[in-house]
A and B are shown apart, each in its own frame.
Chain A
Amino acid sequence: MHDISAHAVEHHAPPTSFIRKHVFSLDHKVIGKQYYALALVAALSGMLLSWFMRIHLGWTNAAIPGLQLLSKTGAPGGVITPEFYLQLMTMHGTIMVFFVLTTAPFAAFGNFFLPIQVGAEDMPFPRFNMMSFWVTFVAFLVLMSSFILGDGPTLGGWTQYAPLNSVGSVAGPGQGLGVVLWMVSIALFCVGQLLGALNFITTTLDLRVKGMSMMRLPLTAWAWFITSCMGLTAFAVLMPACILVILDHVAGTSFFVPSYSVINDQLQPHSGGSTLLWQHLFWFFGHPEVYIAIVPGIGIVSHVLITNMRKPMLSQRVLIYCMGALAVLSYMVYGHHMFVSGMNPISALAFSFPTLVITIPATIVVLIWTFSLYGSKLRINAASLFALGFISMFVSGGVSGFFLAQPSIDIMLHATYFVVGHFHMVMGVAAMFGIFSATYFWFPKMTGRMMNESLGRVHFWLSFAGAYCIFMPFHYLGMAGNIRRYSSFPDDFLQPLLPVHKWITVAALVTGAAQLIFVYNLIHSRFWGRPAPDNPWEATSLEWSTATPPPFDNFGGKHPVVYHDPYQYGVQSSVGDYVMQTSPEQVKTEHDEK
């Protein structure tokens, strides 16, 4: 490593007080860990809620001990009412989409590793970065407070469709204060993410170290950069939408409630609002949000696989272009969520076409992964297994997207368990596997200790098999006409499907319990794990060229110079079959020799 250009970088002393060091820290690494901890708590909360829902779906009258403590009216005697089921479902979706799938792969790992991967000592605006986390944390508290305030959380689902999101308590428990808290929480979340995006974009564009051209950025850095651009556009639109709903509630405006709306036999005082307006504003955010959750995973999986394959992908450039294409197209496809909402049929066609087109870059990404893996001597470990699992889930969940992209088929499958299975696999489980892969891969650098590899593999196989056991049957249920959001299936054609639901419930409980292995591994390894060397995976990017864990200023007062592309594997160098980005060593590849 060369000590260069230090004159150009502002040095600031590391904090000494506990509060500045661990609570209101300006250090991007601490903020990254805080985001990770928040995502972990949120994921466990969301999983617990899904357990309650699954138990109710399998055994409608089952009493869940202690559940009445969460809601006396919603779960009298521990038995879930239909309204409380919907409240659980809404909170599960909101927590998972916003506070886990957006927070962990993007904000947590991005905060920790983006500055290091570009060679900077911190983000350019550390105070905004700190605010970003704490605003997100407050947003989470506001959301969770709806369990104890008023008549519980909103029951409108994570999409919060109008007009029921704007008419107040008449629409059911939680539709008054619960909706306002939801909107305030999400508006705050948007502020947090916008502040984060500001830092990510400027870090990538302005703080790259000498020699680090854009094309020399690792794929993870590219993924976070593209994701932050998406977030900047999407969250800036969701926030005004939330503000308008809050005004409909507290100021009596009529943005989203149509004239003569009669809800629960009561004529609503609003007039003239547009229900489709909410859907347009929401899905303009909502569909890119899918890619905000998954693009960091694409970067992580590529990064992890390359390191373990010991060779670069077939084309790093094409992978970057594909991630960019996914980002751009994600704004042109959102209308496919509204095929049955009463849109002009021509609009449906207009949205259907890009929806099919967006499968092209996604397919190219998968093909690059597959053909790069072909013939490689992949090092099998928990990180690479979860990366493979990501690809499997991405493909399995993505294939059902072809069907849903076509309006004529979507009319049949809309609002059924087919859709639930589709997005859980392609967005939920795939992104979670990306988070797991990143955790097993980067944990040594983040904490200075190795995770238990055996437990990691057990965790993978149980999660992989479990996820398929849960979510593949969802597709069958959907094709059989099982509507989503029903809390029970007491009669007619849905009754024969009950055994499938029971099977899914058992699988969900077992798979959920398997996640406790991960939590145990995480906590145990954090304190008692084997000390990690600086570069345990023999990787090439900048985060592995510094100490483990990285010092306060990331590179110990020095600034690296970058001489190589990010993934120089399969070469002959003095250290082995790889050469680090910071190494001035001139090496020959096998290709050169030929």
Chain B
Amino acid sequence: MATTVHEPPKIDPRRLPDQGHSGNGGWRNLVPADGDLRGTQEYSPPPSSTAIWVVVFAVTMMFAAFSSALIVRKGSSLDWRSFPLPSVLYFNTLLLLASSITLEVSRRRVATFMGGLKSQVKSPARWLYITLFLGLLFVAGQYVAWSQLRAEGLYLATNPSSSFFYVLTATHALHVLGGLGGLIYVIRKLSKSALRRSQLVATTRYWHFMGILWLYLLLLLWMKL
């Protein structure tokens, strides 16, 4: 096996993007095995931006498992009883979608703030607080939906349809609470001027994913319940 051992190219560090935690390698650093170092880039995406896709994938697999369980369970027996979805769910959907918009506004404002244009953005965390509030309202709204179902006599074990409704919505709400934890983390870091852009981007992506996941769940519940 031939071996070529050129010195890696020297890259002006000022031309490198923000490297966060990572910095010294990365999946873009595709040095071919024969040692030709042309095209080498010395940076990689920060781990949090890769990690968020890993988390999104794992959560997707989890809900795929629940979804397939719902479809198999519904088809395996005649005891499935359909019921109309609580109307508050549609309002909650609007809340979650609105929170995605406010978070996107927030992300841009914080990015501007972190980019050095501090005079243009006086209170960068304001839209983050609004997003947090909308997220909390969404979870509260989900609780209202569960209360409405309970008032109608539909509990977790009443019917497999209600079982899946509670399991899917509660698991999603737990993940939304995780996202709210992420938002609080971002707000705290921002207040200490220790926020990394990659952390903000990762939190934003996760939050948008929660919205997309909820739209999927709503469609699934609407079609199958």
Contact = CB atoms under 8 A, between A and B. Distances in A.
Given A205-B27, A240-B62, A589 B22 contact: no
Given A208-B29, A209-B24, A253-B160, A259 B45 contact: no
Given A205-B26, A255-B160, A197 B54 contact: yes
A206 B73 contact: no
Contacts of A59: none
A211 B31 contact: yes
Contact of A253 (B40, B68, B157): B157
B62 A236 contact: yes
A205 B44 contact: yes
Main secondary structure, interface of B, reads loop
Interface stretch (B76-84, B144-152, B175-183, B205-213): B76-84
A561 B8 contact: yes
B140 interface: no
A329 interface: no
A9 B13 CA distance: 13
Nearest to A6: B24
A201 interface: yes
Task: Give the interface residue-count category, chain A.
Answer: 35 or more
Interface stretch (A91-99, A163-171, A389-397, A563-571): A563-571
B5 A584 contact: yes
Interface in A574-594: 579, 584-589, 591-592
Contact of A277 (B48, B69, B78): B69
Contacts of B31: 211-213, 216, 562
Given A207-B47, A240-B65, A198 B55 contact: yes
Contacts of B59: 236
Given A233-B61, A237-B61, A273-B77, A198 B51 contact: yes
A202 B47 contact: yes
A588 B2 CA distance: 7
Given A206-B47, A216-B31, A236-B61, A247 B167 contact: yes
B19 A8 contact: yes
Contacts of A243: 167, 171
A207 B22 contact: yes
A68 interface: no
Given A206-B50, A277-B72, A5 B61 contact: no
Interface stretch (A119-127, A343-351, A411-419, A420-428): A119-127
B185 interface: no
Residue among B16, B31, B167 having the largest count of chain A Cβ atoms under 10 Å: B31
Nearest to A592: B2
A281 interface: yes
Interface in B1-60: 1-8, 13, 16, 19, 21-27, 29-33, 35, 37, 40, 42, 44-48, 50-51, 54-55, 57-59
Contacts of A125: 47, 51
B156 interface: yes
A277 B160 CA distance: 14
Contacts of A259: 77, 79
A272 interface: yes
Given A118-B25, A206-B26, A207-B25, A215 B5 contact: no
B22 A271 contact: no
Contacts of B68: 280-281
A387 interface: no
B66 A272 contact: no
Given A124-B21, A198-B51, A254-B160, A214 B27 contact: yes
Interface in A231-282: 232-233, 236-237, 239-241, 243-244, 247, 251-255, 258-259, 271-274, 276-277, 280-281
A377 interface: no
B24 A9 contact: yes
B66 A206 contact: no
A194 interface: yes
Contacts of B65: 236-237, 240-241, 281, 284
Given A5-B42, A206-B46, A564-B35, A585 B8 contact: no
B64 interface: yes
B25 A210 contact: yes
A236 B58 contact: yes
B47 A215 contact: no
Interface in B64-100: 64-66, 68-69, 72-73, 76-80
B191 interface: no
A10 interface: yes
B123 interface: no
B1 A586 contact: no
Contacts of A119: 24-25
A9 B42 CA distance: 13
Nearest to A271: B79
A579 to B, nearest CB: 7
Contact of A255 (B33, B35, B58, B163): B163
Contacts of A233: 57, 61
B32 to A, nearest CB: 7
Contact of B167 (A244, A252, A276): A244
A120 B65 CA distance: 35
Contact of A206 (B4, B22, B78): B22
Residue among B6, B27, B69, B76 having the largest count of chain A Cβ atoms under 10 Å: B69
A445 interface: no
A237 B62 contact: yes
A202 B157 CA distance: 40
A209 B31 CA distance: 11
B17 to A, nearest CB: 11
B21 A10 contact: yes
Contacts of B48: 124
A281 B24 CA distance: 40
Nearest to A118: B25
Contacts of A203: 47
19 contacts: A5-B23, A8-B19, A120-B25, A124-B48, A206-B44, A208-B26, A208-B27, A210-B25, A212-B31, A236-B57, A239-B62, A251-B156, A252-B156, A281-B68, A561-B8, A563-B6, A564-B3, A568-B1, A579-B3
Interface of B: 1-8, 13, 16, 19, 21-27, 29-33, 35, 37, 40, 42, 44-48, 50-51, 54-55, 57-59, 61-62, 64-66, 68-69, 72-73, 76-80, 156-157, 160, 163, 167, 171
Top 5 A-B pairs, shortest CB-CB distance: A8-B23, A208-B25, A272-B77, A124-B47, A236-B61
Given A202-B47, A281-B65, 6 more contacts: A125-B47, A210-B42, A253-B156, A277-B69, A563-B5, A587-B3
Interface of A: 5, 7-10, 118-120, 124-125, 194, 197-198, 201-203, 205-216, 232-233, 236-237, 239-241, 243-244, 247, 251-255, 258-259, 271-274, 276-277, 280-281, 284, 312, 317, 559, 561-565, 568, 571, 579, 584-589, 591-592
